[in-house]
Amino acid sequence: MTTLTNLLDLDPAQLVAYCGELGEKPFRAKQLQRWIHQFGASDFDAMTDLAKSLRDKLKTRATITAPAIISDHTSADGTRKWLVDVGNGNAVETVYIPEENRGTLCISTQAGCAVNCRFCSTGKQGFNRNLSVGEIIGQLWMAEFELRRTKGIAPGPKGERQITNVVMMGMGEPLLNYEPTVTALKLMLDDNAYGLSRRRVTLSTSGVVPMIDKLSQDCPVALAVSLHASNDALRDGLVPLNRKYPLRELMDACRRYLAFAPRDFITFEYCMLDGVNDGDQHARELIALVQGSNPVPCKFNLIPFNPFPESGLTRSQNPRIKAFAQILMDAGIVTTIRKTRGDDIDAACGQLAGEVKDRTRVQERMKKMTEYQEKFGKDFGRIVEISS
Ligand code: SF4
């Protein structure tokens, strides 16, 4: 049996090569790419400006398949969270956060994560596997066209784009799944696909120093660094990767990255942990770290911790978070406190498919999905919600 090529796995150059293998000219690849990424098409027969002979070839050799949706929840504040199946009992979450002038999609790059940050529920699951290009870009493909379908907005470049910003801040460390992540980034930026500006695509890393340098050469997008501590001793305990790439090396990598970055600052994310990293002295250490003799232009984003029982950690009190922010701001550092979104659907930061108890529910839902599929057969189609 021929294995079908999933066209969501191919970047623009690979699609040209693929069309070449089919005996087609390069401009066919552009047409195909527009159908896939601008019109959300998955049916080759709908691609009416492609010759019938090409459509027939594609039908026997290719597919356009994004990860299947297991569940789809919308929060009271409009945040929408999808749980998507990435095979072998693994699932990841994709979260859409609507705001007045933009729509941000938070996507995952790995099922589980090997970095095992102490405050992160995803890390507690351990590492399952890297996502493919199709599974990463497929989250954007699925979300953009699901949102349009829900709102009755036509697909195509003329329809109002729903996702204006992408953040790679979901499950996993993107720089430890480097090639698929960069291929997906290139598709996000490509004018024949999503055409997002580099400034509107942010990759968040826990600090994989050599890959930060590589990203600056291959596909520099906005960079966020999960910092979470003001000195090495503290960070070693919170972000174990720090033992390999300590703060001095990380700050050097940030400075080097800025020479190629689309923005003139790095965003430092800082999860506020009660009594752990939220003291005045920690704020002062941070100021010394980024404003010392060799400064790093940056902004801070303080994230109120979303507690989960296995962490043994609690969220800093709001007045403490505000006082901490004030110390940074008094030193001239732009500082924001992340608004918690989607709390009622467990879509808040650090809860992405990661809550250990939710992991069990993932398995339950997937079991139910299989039962439903068996009951209703292949006509069951796209699963939007499975009651649980
Ligand atoms: S914070 Fe990011 S890098 Fe750390 S364990 Fe969680 S997903 Fe992995």
The architecture in CATH of the region 5-63 reads: Orthogonal Bundle (1.10)
- Please give the pLDDT value at position 1: 64
**Is the pLDDT assigned to residue 287 strictly greater than 60?**
yes
349 is a catalytic site residue:
yes
- State pLDDT tens for residues 101-150: 999 999 999 999 999 999 998 888 889 999 999 999 999 999 999 999 99
Read off the tokens for 303. 């994230």
Report domain extents, the chain: 5-63, 68-357
What pLDDT band is residue 156 in, cutting at 50, 70 and 90? confident
Q: How confident is the model at residue 345 (pLDDT cuts 50, 70, 90)?
A: low
64-74 residue pLDDT tens: 999 999 999 99
DSSP class of residue 223 equals: E
Nearest to 347 by CA among 169, 188, 202: 169
**In DSSP terms, which residues pair with 85 in a beta bridge?**
91
- Using alpha carbons, select from 171, 170, 251, 263 the residue that is nearest to residue 220: 263
Q: pLDDT band for 362, please (50, 70, 90 cuts).
A: very low
| Residue 104 burial (CB count, 10 A) | 19
User: 121 CB less than 6 Å from ligand 1?
Assistant: no
Residue 380 phi/psi, 5-degree rounding, is -60, -35
DSSP state of 140: H
Q: How far is the centre of ligand 1, averaged over its atoms, from the C-alpha of 226 (Å)?
A: 8
The CA distance from 233 to 59, in Å, is 57
Nearest residue (by CA) to ligand 1, atom 7, is: 172
* Residue 116 Cβ contacting ligand 1 at under 6 Å: yes
> At residue 307, what are phi and psi to the nearest 5 degrees?
-65, 145
Q: Measure the CA–CA gap between 16 and 125, rounded to whole angstroms.
A: 39
Q: Exposed e or buried b for every residue in 372-384, given b needs 16+ CB within 10 A?
A: eeeeeeeeeeebe
The helix or strand, by DSSP H or E, that contains position 31, with its residue range, turns out to be helix 26-37
Tens digits of per-residue pLDDT, 315-342?
A: 999 999 999 999 999 999 999 999 876 6
CA angle 147, 98, 381 (to 5 degrees): 25
pLDDT band, very low/low/confident/very high, at 58 (cuts 50, 70, 90): very high
Domains 5-63 and 68-357 share a fold: no
Residue for token pair 């995803």: 122
| Ligand 1 contact, 269 CB (< 6 A) | no
> Which of 106, 271, 298, 349 is the catalytic position?
349
Annotated binding site: 113, 117, 120, 172-173, 204, 226-228, 306
Instruction: Say if ligand 1 is within 6 A of residue 226 CB.
Output: yes
Per-residue confidence (pLDDT) for residue 363, from 0 to 100: 44
| Third-level CATH fold of 68-357 | TIM Barrel (3.20.20)
Average pLDDT over the chain, rounded to whole? 88
